[in-house]
C-alpha cells in the first residue's frame, strides 16, 4: 500500500487532503459565535493586536489591500475606512460560513462599495501577480495546510515593495506565562467553547493548532525562504501573539 502524505490537525496526524475539510468543519461550527468567543477568549485584547497590525500596515487612501482569512471582517472594516472610495479591500476566506458572516456584518455596519468578499484558498490565491499593496492574515496561517505554499502565493500577488503582515498566536517568552497559558488553553478554553458555542472540540483544536504553529523565529525564516525581505516580528502580550512583517523585494 502506498504511504499517504500527512499533516497535523491540532495534535492529530491526518492525510494532507483531509486537513482543509476538517478545518472548514471547525469554522463552520464556530462562525456564528466567532466574535463573541474572540472577545471572551482574549478578554477583548484581540482588538489591540489588530489595532497594532493596522498601524504597521501603513495603509493609505487609494491602496489595494488583501485581508486573507478575514473571517468576520474586523481588519477589513478598518482598512475600508483607511483606503477610502478610491481604494479597495478584498476580504478573502476559504470558509464560506465565515465569509458570509463577515460580509453580512460589514453590510450591517454600512461598510460597502470598496470591499469585495472572495472565497479563496491562501495557497492558491486567485489574483494576478503584483496586485496588492498590503496583505494581512490574522489568526489564519496556522490553519493553512501548506504554509510555505501560501507564503509564496502571497508574495506573488503582492506588488514590489508591498508588505505582508502575519498576525498569529506564537510562543510565550516566559516560562511562567507559558504554564499559565497552557492551563488556560487546555482547560478553560474548551470549557468556554462548550458553554458559549456548545462546541468544546473546535476550541480544543484551536488550542492544539496554536501549539503546532511555528514559533517566532521559525516563521520569520519561512518568510525569508519564501522570498520576503526585511522580515521582522513584534511579540505582543509576552509572545502569546506575534506580528510578522515582510516586504516583497
Partner 1 sequence: MTDPTFRAGFDAALETAINTALKYDPGTRARLQRLDGKALELNLTAPPLQFCLCIEGDQVRVRGHWEGEVSTRLTGSAIAFVRLLRDPAATPAQLDVSVSGSSALLAELQSIMRDLDIDWEAPFAQLVGDMPAHTVGNLLRDASRWLSGNLRRAPRAAAEAVSEEWRLTPPQAQFEAFVEDLADLSLATERLEARVQLLKARLRASGENFSRRGAE
Positions in the binding site for partner 1 (CB under 8 A): 45, 47-49, 51-52, 55-56, 58, 60, 81, 234-238, 243
Specify the residue, 97 or 237, whose C-beta has the smaller distance to partner 1. Answer: 237
Q: Are 80 and 115 in contact (CB under 8 A)?
A: yes
Residue 78 or 213 with smaller CB distance to partner 1: 78
For the range 195-201, what are the long-range contacts, defined as Cβ-Cβ under 8 Å and sequence gap of 24 or more? 196/33, 196/36, 196/37, 196/40, 197/29, 197/30, 197/32, 197/33, 197/37, 199/29, 199/30
Residue whose CB is less far from partner 1, 19 or 50: 50
Give CA 211 to chain center in angstroms: 15
- Residue whose C-alpha is closest to residue 244's, from 51, 39, 53, 112: 53
We find the least distance from the C-beta atom of residue 81 to partner 1, in angstroms, to be 8
CA–CA separation, 185 and 179 (whole Å): 10
Residue with Cβ nearer partner 1 (6 or 237): 237
- Minimum Å gap between C-beta 89 and partner 1 is 16
Residue 191 CB, nearest approach to partner 1 (Å): 24
With respect to partner 1, which residue has the nearer C-beta, 55 or 225?
55
What is residue 129's three-state secondary structure?
Answer: coil
Closest to partner 1 by CB, 196 vs 236, is 236
In 45-146, the DSSP E strands lie at 64-68, 88-93, 115-119, 132-138
The two beta strands, 64-68 and 132-138, are parallel
Phi, psi (deg, nearest 5) at residue 60: -130, 160
Q: What is the DSSP letter of 113?
A: S
> Least Å distance between CB 228 and partner 1?
18
Is 222 in contact with 181 (CB distance < 8 Å)?
no
| Pick 106 or 241: Cβ nearer partner 1 | 241
- Quote the least distance from Cβ 227 to partner 1, whole Å: 23
Residue 240 CB, nearest distance to partner 1 (Å)? Answer: 9
Q: How far is the CB of 9 from partner 1 (least distance, A)?
A: 29
The enclosing H or E element of 112 equals none
Amino acid at each position: 500500500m502506498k504511504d499517504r502524505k500527512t499533516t497535523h490537525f491540532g495534535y492529530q496526524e491526518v492525510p494532507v487532503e483531509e486537513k482543509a475539510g476538517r478545518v472548514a468543519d471547525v469554522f463552520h461550527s464556530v462562525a456564528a459565535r466567532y466574535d463573541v468567543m474572540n472577545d471572551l477568549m482574549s478578554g477583548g485584547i484581540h482588538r489591540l493586536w489588530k489595532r497594532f497590525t493596522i498601524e504597521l500596515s501603513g495603509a493609505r487612501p487609494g491602496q489595494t489591500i488583501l485581508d486573507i482569512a478575514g473571517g468576520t471582517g474586523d481588519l477589513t472594516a478598518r482598512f475600508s475606512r483607511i483606503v477610502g472610495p478610491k481604494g479597495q479591500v478584498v476580504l478573502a476566506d476559504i470558509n464560506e460560513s465565515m465569509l458570509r458572516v463577515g460580509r453580512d456584518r460589514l453590510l450591517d455596519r454600512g461598510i460597502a462599495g470598496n470591499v469585495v468578499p472572495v472565497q479563496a484558498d491562501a495557497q492558491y490565491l486567485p489574483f494576478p501577480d503584483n496586485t496588492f499593496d498590503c496583505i494581512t492574515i490574522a489568526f489564519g496561517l496556522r490553519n493553512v495546510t501548506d504554509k510555505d505554499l501560501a507564503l509564496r502565493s502571497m508574495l506573488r500577488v503582492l506588488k514590489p515593495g508591498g508588505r505582508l503582515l502575519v498576525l498569529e498566536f506564537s510562543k510565550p517568552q516566559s516560562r511562567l506565562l507559558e504554564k499559565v497559558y497552557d492551563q488556560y488553553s487546555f482547560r478553560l478554553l474548551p470549557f468556554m467553547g462548550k458553554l458559549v458555542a456548545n462546541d468544546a472540540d473546535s476550541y480544543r483544536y484551536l488550542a492544539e493548532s496554536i501549539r503546532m504553529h511555528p514559533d517566532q523565529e521559525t516563521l520569520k525564516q519561512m518568510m525569508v525562504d519564501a522570498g520576503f525581505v526585511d522580515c521582522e516580528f513584534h511579540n505582543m502580550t509576552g509572545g502569546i501573539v506575534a506580528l510578522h512583517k515582510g516586504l516583497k523585494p
